[in-house]
Amino acid sequence: MMALLETRGVWQRFGGLIANADVSISVGRGEIVGLIGPNGAGKSTLFNLIAGVRPPTQGTIWLDGVDITATPATERCRRGIARTFQVVKSFETMTVIDNVIVGALIRTTEMRAARRKAFEVLEFCGLAGRADVMASELIPSEKRRLEVARALATEPKLLLLDEVLTGLTPLEAQTGVELVRRVRDTGVTVLMVEHVMEIVMPLVDRAIVLDLGKVLVEGKPTDVVRDPKVIAAYLGDRHAVGA
């Protein structure tokens, strides 16, 4: 079966610095895949390449068997890739529901339909009660959920989550994990970048470990955490192991 998302031999150089070196990964339909690795492993770079922030220096990116390497971010969203941001980027002067409507408007220009869709997504994400609050007044964990809601409103095939669980209290993180599972159950494929392994391992079907810009290991989360190469890579990074 053709994978939903594929990167083939992707390189990203910034001047002399190589952030991604020959990265080939694939994400199948309906999977939850974790993209993990120590600090500076090139996770965020790869994430941004998939989201369409910039084209890779070399290599190609495929969605549904279509080469989207040169497709700009806006168009990728239209084709079914939605993302969240590591540093939350809410529309602060808009209400929560208006934030989500922006996302919904890519599939319809009919305002009532967009509003209805946005409200459904808010209910799904547990934010319906905060619909008319200004986004700037949300607490951090709510802002994270708003990011997810906004992305879901674009009706993506592939949802890219950038450290949505990091920095949450255990209870909040648990709610987050459940939300991601429910998202997958609606048929959306999830690729999530996380720095801290422990949070994502129980959630993901498959983990891809990046180190020094390359794919180090990939496989079942239970296997990956025991892999000596992964342990070695994380050793210099106590914070992540200990968390």
Partner 1 sequence: MHDATHAVRRRRDLIVAAVFVALAACVPLFVKDVYAQNIMVLTLMYAGLSQSWNILGGYCGQISLGHALYFGLGAYVTAILLTKFGVLPWFGMLAGGIVSALIALALGYPTFRLGGHYFAIATIVIAEIAFLLFLNWDWAGAALGIDIMVREDSWAKFQFTRSKLPYFYFALFFAAVAWLVTWWLENSKWGYWWRAVKDNPDAAESLGVVVFKSKMGAGAISAFLTAIGGAFYAMFVSYIDPDAVMSFQFSLLISLPAVLGGIGTLWGPVLGAAVLIPVTELTRSFIGGSGRGVDLIVYGSLIVLVSLTRPDGLLGLFSRKRKVEAAR
Partner 2 sequence: MTAETIIQSLASGLLMGLLYGLIAVGLSLIFGLMNIVNFAHGEFLMLSMYGAFFLFAFFAIDPLLSMPLVAAGMFVFGAAIYLLIVRFAMRAKTNVGMVQIFATFGLAIVLRGLAQYFFTPDYRSITHSWLGGKTVSIGGIFLPVPQLVGALLAIVAFGALYVFIKRTDFGRALEATREDAGAVALVGIDQNRVFALGWGLGSALVGLAGAIMATFFYIYPDVGASFALIAYVVVALGGFGSVFGAFAGGILVGLVEATTALVMPPSLKAVGIYAVYLLVVFIRPRGLFGSI
Q: Which does 197 bind (CB under 5 to 8 A by kind): partner 1, partner 2, none?
A: none
Q: Which stretch binds partner 1 (CB under 8 A): 2-10, 16-24, 101-109, 218-226?
A: 101-109
Partner whose binding site includes residue 115, from partner 1, partner 2, none (CB under 5 to 8 Å by kind): partner 1
Residue 228: which H helix or E strand, with range?
A: helix 228-235
| Helices within 80-169 (DSSP H only) | 96-104, 111-124, 140-152
49 binds partner 1 (CB under 8 A): no
Q: Which residues bind partner 2 (CB under 8 A)?
A: 92-93, 136
12 lies in the site for partner 1, by CB under 8 A: no
Q: Which is nearer to partner 1, 63 or 217 (CB)?
A: 63
Q: Where are the alpha helices (DSSP H) in 140-188?
A: 140-152, 170-185
Q: What is the rounded CA–CA span in Å between residue 46 and residue 63? A: 15
Q: Which of residues 135-194 bind partner 1 (CB under 8 A)?
A: 150-151, 153-154
Q: Which two tokens stand for residue 153?
A: 């409103």
Look at residues 243, 242, 231 and name the one whose alpha carbon lies nearest to residue 37.
231
- Please, what is the minimum distance in Å from the beta carbon of residue 115 to partner 1? 6
Backbone φ, ψ for residue 35 (5° rounding):
-110, 110
The option from partner 1, partner 2, none interacting with 2 (CB < 5 to 8 A, set by class) reads none
- Token pair of 73 as six digits: 């971010």
Tokens of 137: 């007044």
The region of 63-71, 100-108, 208-216, 226-234 touching partner 1 under the rule CB under 8 A is 100-108
55 is a site residue for partner 1 (CB under 8 A): no
Region of 32-40, 73-81, 164-172, 204-212 interacting with partner 1 (CB under 8 A): 73-81
Distance CA 153, CA 120 (A): 9
Provide, rounded to whole angstroms, the least separation between the CB of residue 83 and partner 1.
5
Q: Which is nearer to partner 2, 24 or 136 (CB)?
A: 136
Would you say 93 or 186 has its CB closer to partner 2? 93
Q: Is 153 or 199 the residue whose CB approaches partner 1 more closely? A: 153
Tokens of 154: 């674009």
Give SS3 for 10. Answer: strand
Cα separations in angstroms, 76 against 52, 64, 126, 156:
7, 12, 27, 10
- Please give the helix or strand (H or E) that residue 79 lies within, else none: helix 73-79
Can you give the binding site for partner 1, defined by CB under 8 A? Answer: 51, 73-74, 77-78, 82-83, 85, 89-94, 97-98, 101-103, 105-106, 109, 111-112, 115-116, 119, 131, 150-151, 153-154
